[in-house]
């Protein structure tokens, strides 16, 4: 496994990742529905913004098996896991046939290390009830963002 920075050229991977993240439990959205809903497309269509960054896990053939990307949203245009303007929202995806191999942990750890080195005060995310990924997030130090936030909004203070 090799981890490399994401680029604007990875938007198709982020689109796929967003679709599969939304359909983590069963198929709730089609690709067409995803592309027609701004609350979903904002996670990939203009990525990266000025402060956004992310990483991909690739094999020797450069096939992508997982991605993590951090997006700075605003109070006027918040993501599902929005907490504050100065804290990016983390999204992560690992291909189903590569889960359980530590890729998600490695990607998140890399992103958190970079965020910390940039002086970012925290990283948030949104996870639905019942999603097994929540256990990984909690093991990595993410906690409920607070009483003012949805139960699925988690925050890692840096």
- The pLDDT value recorded for residue 55 is 99
How do the domains of the chain map onto residue ranges? 2-157
**pLDDT value of residue 46:** 86
Half-sphere exposure of 78 (CA within 13 A, CB side): 14
94: tokens are: 């690992």
- One digit per residue, the tens of pLDDT, for the chain of length 158 reads 899 999 999 999 999 999 999 999 888 998 999 999 888 988 989 889 999 999 999 999 999 999 999 999 999 999 999 999 999 999 999 999 999 999 999 999 999 999 999 999 999 999 998 999 999 999 999 999 988 898 899 999 99
Helices in the chain by DSSP H: which ranges?
Answer: 11-22, 31-35, 38-41, 103-117, 133-139
pLDDT at 72: 98
Q: What is the pTM of this model?
A: 0.93
Contact (CB, 8 A) for 83 and 38: no
- What's the token pair of residue 100? 């359980």
pLDDT for residue 1: 84
Asked whether the CA dihedral 124, 4, 104, 102 is positive or negative, the reply is negative
pLDDT at position 131? 93
Among 3.30.1380.10, 3.90.600.10, 3.60.40.10, 3.40.630.30, what is the CATH number of 2-157?
3.40.630.30
- pLDDT at res. 24: 92
């Amino acid at each position: 496994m090799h981890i490399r920075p994401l680029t604007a050229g990875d938007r198709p991977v982020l689109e796929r990742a967003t679709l599969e993240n939304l359909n983590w439990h069963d198929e709730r959205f089609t690709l067409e529905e995803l592309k027609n809903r701004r609350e979903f497309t904002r996670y990939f269509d203009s990525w990266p913004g000025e402060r956004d960054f992310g990483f991909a896990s690739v094999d020797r053939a450069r096939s992508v098996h997982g991605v993590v990307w951090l997006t700075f949203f605003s109070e006027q245009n918040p993501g599902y896991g929005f907490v504050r303007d100065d804290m990016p929202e983390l999204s992560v995806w690992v291909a189903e046939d590569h889960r359980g191999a530590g890729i998600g942990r490695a990607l998140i750890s890399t992103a958190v290390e970079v965020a910390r080195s940039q002086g970012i005060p925290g990283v948030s995310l949104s996870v639905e009830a019942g999603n097994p990924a929540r256990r990984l997030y909690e093991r990595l130090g993410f906690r409920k963002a607070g009483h003012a936030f949805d139960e699925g909004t988690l925050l890692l203070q840096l």
